[in-house]
Amino acid sequence: MLIRRPDDIPSSEITPRMLFERRREFLRLSAGAALAGILPAAHGALGPGRASTYSTSEELTPLKHVTSYNNFTEFGFDKGDPARTAQALRTRPWTLSIDGLVRQPKTLDIEDVLKLAPLEERIYRLRCVEGWSMVIPWLGIPMSTLLKQVEPLGSAKYVEFITAVQPETMPGVRTRVLDWPYTEGLRLDEAMHPLTIMAMGLYGDVLPNQNGAPLRLVVPWKYGFKSGKSIVRIRLTDSEPRTSWMKSAPREYGFYSNVNPEVDHPRWSQATERRIGEFTKRKTLMFNGYTEQVGQLYTGMDLRKQF
Ligand SMILES: Nc1nc2c(c(=O)[nH]1)N[C@H]1C(S)=C(S)[C@@H](COP(=O)(O)O)O[C@H]1N2
Ligand SMILES: [Mo]
């Protein structure tokens, strides 16, 4: 097999994935990189850019789109707002509390969360409920690793994710569009599923503020809004938590919010999506394409009613 050196390749042929890998190579080589301490020492079990059970091999969405086309209502309502305004977000000091129905409630400093386990690379599709999607190389740890730290009690059935409120830095929280803080929720078995991660980086670097620094939930088979950004607290409960979106529009946003092309949003179809950076629409896949991994979590449920 002929392997071309990057220098031989015209820049028009350089793909986001190649940029991503070069960037990681650069970070690996630069001992002084701020991220050196938190990046995996080796390329991790998955190997660089290779498809695995957990990663898609689809083309990555260019970094410039991932960091400039965002939903982060605390920082404004236009897709371009968070890239500018979220620069004010204070991400240090930062603590994460995990409490509720657990044997060992804990408040962890962000630096300790970063050291809990080696960061793993996961290339996931992200499908927004509004009908667009991206493919993003996340760095994170399984949510189960985090939850095991506090030893959930047998009575714990659900997990609530509570995100930061910084009125001085977040213009959005001075409005009443949502009931702040932005909260989300999962069933405990969904939160413990190996696909569910707490992301701390993307594209081989620390998480940009607009993508939910320093800690952001990622649940790839659910609509993007389930992936709460800038999380400060995780609470285990015995009843289904009410989320910010359920409170604001219960007919439109259910607790499960699994990506499902067969169940329309009351105001639009969910059958197709536009990959950011592309023009033609593609079909939306059941569970965002993760049926093999997560389908069994929902056997016996009527997904039209429990949407
Ligand atoms: N705290 C918080 N988290 C949030 C949101 C938000 O408004 N506030 N928006 C959600 C929505 S609707 C989507 S589609 C994704 C977008 O993530 P991205 O900007 O990293 O692509 O973040 C989700 N997480
Ligand atoms: Mo979204």
Residue 219 sits in a domain whose CATH number is 3.90.420.10
**pLDDT tens across 144-189, in order?**
999 999 999 999 999 999 999 999 999 999 999 999 999 999 999 9
Residue 128 in domain: yes
Can you give the residue range of the structural domain that contains 137?
52-298
CB of 128 shorter than 6 A to ligand 1:
yes
- Whole-number Cα distances in Å, 265 to 201, 242, 258: 31, 19, 12
CB of 74 shorter than 6 A to ligand 1:
yes
Residue 242 in domain: yes
pTM confidence score: 0.91
| Per-residue burial over 234-264, b = 16 or more CB atoms within 10 Å of its CB, e = otherwise | bbbbeeebebbbbeeeeeebbbbbbbbbebe
**pLDDT tens across 245-283, in order?**
999 999 999 999 999 999 999 999 999 999 999 999 999
Within 13 A of 48's CA, how many CA atoms are on the CB side?
16
CA distance 173 to 196: 27
Would you state the structure tokens that stand for residue 282, as one six-digit string?
Answer: 């593609």
Q: Are 244 and 228 in contact (CB under 8 A)?
A: no
C-alpha 7 to ligand 2 mean position (Å): 38
Residue reference for tokens 């394409």: 289
> Chain-centre distance of CA 170, in angstroms?
20
C-alpha 228 to ligand 1 mean position (Å): 6
- The atom number, within ligand 1, closest to the CA of 172 reads 7
Residue 175 in domain: yes
- Pairing status of strand 272-275 against strand 132-142: parallel
What mean pLDDT, rounded, does the chain reach?
Answer: 91
C-alpha 130 to ligand 2 mean position (Å): 6
Predicted local confidence at residue 13, as pLDDT: 72
Residue 235 in domain: yes
Residue 27 in domain: no
Q: How many domains does the chain have?
A: 1
